[in-house]
Amino acid sequence: MLGTLARVWSERCQKAFEDTKQALTSSPVLVLPDYSRHFEVVCEASITGIGAVLIQEGRPVAFDSKKLSPAERNYTTGRARVVCCGARYEDMALLPGGGSSL
């Protein structure tokens, strides 16, 4: 079945490939936080770890990740994400001026 399908590589495909390659091979540049503006905390969880990114105006300000302990691996992914966001919120609220912006 796969042999009968025509494969077309358009300019749109090439642009998507180049954009993906650029995103995967370059590291994000962290920006300095502006405490007069709002922050966004993005959390993610998996079976083995949790991670969070502090974002301001679409740019990363800080990031953190943690490997889950054997006991924490029993959490559902949703529960691990809540724990992750709560811990990151507490950590980032301790930053100078961070408590009022988060």
**Per residue in 19-66, pLDDT tens?**
988 877 777 778 888 989 988 888 888 888 888 888 899 888 888 888
Asked whether residue 87 carries a pLDDT value surpassing 70, the answer given is no
Say if CB 55 and CB 40 are below 8 A apart. yes
Residue 93 token pair: 């609220």
96 versus 48: the higher-pLDDT residue is: 48
* pTM of this prediction exceeds 0.75: no
- What pLDDT is recorded for position 99? 44
DSSP H or E stretch at residue 49 = strand 49-56
Q: Which class is domain 31-101? A: alpha beta
- Higher-pLDDT residue of 35, 93: 35
Residue 12 has pLDDT above 90, yes or no: yes
**AA letter at 3:** G
Q: Across the strands, what pairs with 45?
A: 50
More confidently predicted of 2 and 73: 73
